[in-house]
Structure 1
Amino acid sequence: MLESVPAGVADQPAAEVTGRDKRALVSAVECTFDSLFVLSYDQGERSQLDALYRKAKTKQWDVDLDIDWSIGGQIDRARDPNNALNRLHIPAGGVFSRLSDEQLAELGHASAAWTINQFLHTEQGALTCAAKLVQSAPWVDAKFYASTQVMDEARHMEAYARYVKEKMEWEFPISTHLSGLLDDVVRDSRWDFTYLGMQVVIEGLALAAFGLQYKLSPDPLLKQITRYVIADEARHVAFGVLSLREAYADLTAAELRERQEFCFEAVLRMRNRYLAEEVWEQLDLPVDECTALVNAGPVQKEYRRALFSAVVPNLKKLGLLDFGDGWLRTKFGELGVLGFEDGDDTSAEYPRMDLDHAPWDVVRYQHY
């Protein structure tokens, strides 16, 4: 855990990229945890979790039936210099100002493909964590809900894998920063760390990223997939917040401090996955210069800051933001993200993200 982080940490990478073989197709993570058999089957004892489970049962969309895969033009849109998503991920100046129009178009394609590939890898991490929660959660209502999340995450993997292969035609390995965090979350034997790392931090940051992608993407197909995913992910984050509120009421001061430090380390690593070293390497661009430009670019810095819009209010709801001497509040202040603390936490906000509120062009093929 991080005991102290120097001032200015918001502008610095949290860790160096290792020499790990990024091309490996199978990665093993050794983990040991208790599988809990809960022999009290009184469903509904935790009414908010039960409500999530009942909603999830009725919202099982189908990648084949509900998504309009006939929509084309994804690569052309990604290569378009006017694509707003390119401005989020590709800074101005330096090496980027010396690229030709064709090189910039290729960079747009690579950046778009890389982004969706990282969402795909994250969804597999979420699938693994949800399956772990089915086994390790100590309440039957939590096990019921986690079982629906397993199906949700498999569906998200299916959708993004198909989009990457059929529409973007460019596959990227998992970001080293993301891989390291997923390994730690899966490896930890404590069930609440799985909740905290995946449900609250990783999925919370992803929920904000999905929201920006939905607003800015010029691709009708990606907007449709993203809106369906948002509805599911909002339930997943709410599941984490509602479960951990009860669990953290009984922890000691030392245990809560450990979870504060874990959260801060996790958000730094998730933030750094957007440095996109894999893109610069793939295109033979100078990785150190590109990373420095992404770190310093005002648009890119604001984008990374905006990703905290769901995480900060959720951690405040859990009491972790201000617990003890306010250590986590101080660290988030260094990141410049405390402006989000008074936003709605996802346990209150998720109903507004449901597909019942989605526009007709998203749900017109809805089969259920």
Structure 2
Amino acid sequence: MTDANDLDAILAVTNTDRDEAIHTVKDNADAIFTWDYEKGARPALNKLYEKAKHSQWNGETDLDWSIEVDQEELIRAAGGPPSAEGLAQLGVDVSRTSLAKWGEKEWMQWAVYNQNWSLSQFMHGEQGALICTAKIVETVPWIDAKYYAATQVMDEARHVEVFAKYLDDKLSGHFPINSHLRALLDDIINDSRWDMTYLGMQIMVEGLALAAFGVAQQTTADPLLKQLLRYVMSDEARHVAFGVLSLKEFYEGLSDAEMMDRQEFAYEAAIRMRNRFLQQEVWDEMGVDVREAIAIFNKPDEEKNKDPFQQLLFSKIVPNCKKLGLLDANDGWLRSRFDTLGVTQFEDWVDTGEEYEMLDAVSQDREAAG
């Protein structure tokens, strides 16, 4: 299991093919046909499917791409780029490092790269969701789940499209996929069990993305990105709800040993997703030794686990894990791990299986337009 704070373990996860356009992963799952076409056995899934059909949107025409985007102005509007003095106030000392010579120009370039990197990881994660949901169509044994998963494939293709267009047309380029995110996606796709695709993608990756999109949507000054993220979040909430509704039924029949396997997977995924925010690719692009940069910014666990941003990223994951029984199975094994991450305070927040209708931006906008 990954050590959450082991520098060598963090750096050992690298992209050896970062300059390649194609990445191949072995998919060990069986494709499952079902001849049971009865619709209605799972009313909550059928309701979600109907909602998905009526909430489709067009990334080319429903977003205002005429809006101009000035990256540096957006960074200044958000408080400006970092500085050595500002970092010192946060307890980060760069005085005896290669960053000590950085001025406003270097920190602004870092902030621009950070913006590109963040949106790039959203884009790569959406392609991971595209692949995983296509796999769910193949592997889930219920026809109503296949129906809904097919709508999500379309959603994810649209998400990849709009993030790629925003990066190409409005920002200043893509970053390669983060090594920790790629390793997690590889493991999700490689696993032969259909429910692990749900757990890894719908609950963990999409759950964290939904929270991260919410933070970005609230903090950006760019009206185009606000609109884009609001529409993507509307879809993502349904996707996470799909995972919750599907897995709750399945997990009720699992043994303690089977639940432990899934608890361990969820915790490992949580650590990998947290490690990706160390932004190894940004430091490499800036010409900074990645080991030095991570040593500077990778806070001790007791500090990292109190970081409000780090905690908030788990605000969708924890209540959903609780609803699925993962939090308290096996004498609360996952609860104790989430306690160490400082995130169990979210356990009683509304789970996404009940929340998705509140985030339905497409229907809200259509009603407002009459």
Question: What is the TM-score when the length of structure 2 is the normalising length?
Answer: 0.90
Unaligned runs of 5+ in 2: none
**How has the CA–CA distance of structure 1 residues 28 and 237 changed in structure 2, closer, same or farther, with 3 Å as cutoff?**
same
**How has the CA–CA distance of structure 1 residues 320 and 84 changed in structure 2, closer, same or farther, with 3 Å as cutoff?**
farther
Partner of 1:142: 145
- State how 1:181-260 maps to structure 2 within 5 Å: 181-260=184-263
Q: Please, which moves more after superposition, 19-28 or 222-231?
A: 19-28
Partner of 1:318: 324
Provide the identity percentage. 46
Aligned equivalents of 1:86, 1:349: Cα separation in 2 = 35
Asked if the contact 1:14–1:269 (Cα under 8 Å) also holds between the matched residues in 2, the reply is no
User: 1:141-180 deviations in whole A, cap 9, x for unaligned?
Assistant: 1000000000000000000000111111221100000000
Question: 1:263 aligned to 266, 270, 282, which one?
Answer: 266
Partner of 1:50: 46
User: 1:238-292 deviations in whole A, cap 9, x for unaligned?
Assistant: 0000000000111111110000000000110011111100000001123223223
Q: Please, which moves more after superposition, 190-199 or 324-333?
A: 324-333
Tell me the CA shift for residue 31 of structure 1: 1.2
Unaligned runs of 5+ in 1: none
Asked if the contact 2:7–2:294 (Cα under 8 Å) also holds between the matched residues in 1, the reply is no
Partner of 2:29: 33
Question: 1:65 aligned to 48, 57, 61, which one?
Answer: 61
Partner of 1:327: 333
Paired residue secondary structure (1:66): coil
Kindly indicate whether residue 344 of structure 2 is the aligned counterpart of residue 338 of structure 1: yes
Question: 1:174 aligned to 172, 177, 182, which one?
Answer: 177
Structure 1 counterpart of 2:154, which letter? M
**How has the CA–CA distance of structure 1 residues 86 and 203 changed in structure 2, closer, same or farther, with 3 Å as cutoff?**
farther
RMSD: 2.5
Partner of 1:103: 106
Asked if the contact 1:133–1:146 (Cα under 8 Å) also holds between the matched residues in 2, the reply is yes
Q: Please, which moves more after superposition, 282-291 or 197-206?
A: 282-291
Tell me the CA shift for residue 347 of structure 1: 0.4
- State how 1:65-84 maps to structure 2 within 5 Å: 65-78=61-74, 80-83=75-78
Question: What is the TM-score when the length of structure 1 is the normalising length?
Answer: 0.90
Asked if the contact 1:214–1:227 (Cα under 8 Å) also holds between the matched residues in 2, the reply is yes
The count of corresponding residues between Structure 1 and Structure 2 is 356
Q: Please, which moves more after superposition, 130-139 or 146-155?
A: 130-139
Kindly indicate whether residue 21 of structure 2 is the aligned counterpart of residue 15 of structure 1: no
User: 1:61-86 deviations in whole A, cap 9, x for unaligned?
Assistant: 001110000111242334x3442596
Aligned equivalents of 2:147, 2:198: Cα separation in 1 = 15
Question: 2:308 aligned to 299, 302, 307, which one?
Answer: 302
Aligned equivalents of 1:131, 1:162: Cα separation in 2 = 22
Bigger relative contact order, structure 1 or 2, given CA contacts below 8 A and separation 6+? 1
Tell me the CA shift for residue 295 of structure 1: 2.3
Asked if the contact 2:81–2:104 (Cα under 8 Å) also holds between the matched residues in 1, the reply is no
Question: 2:287 aligned to 278, 284, 287, which one?
Answer: 284
Q: Please, which moves more after superposition, 349-358 or 320-329?
A: 349-358
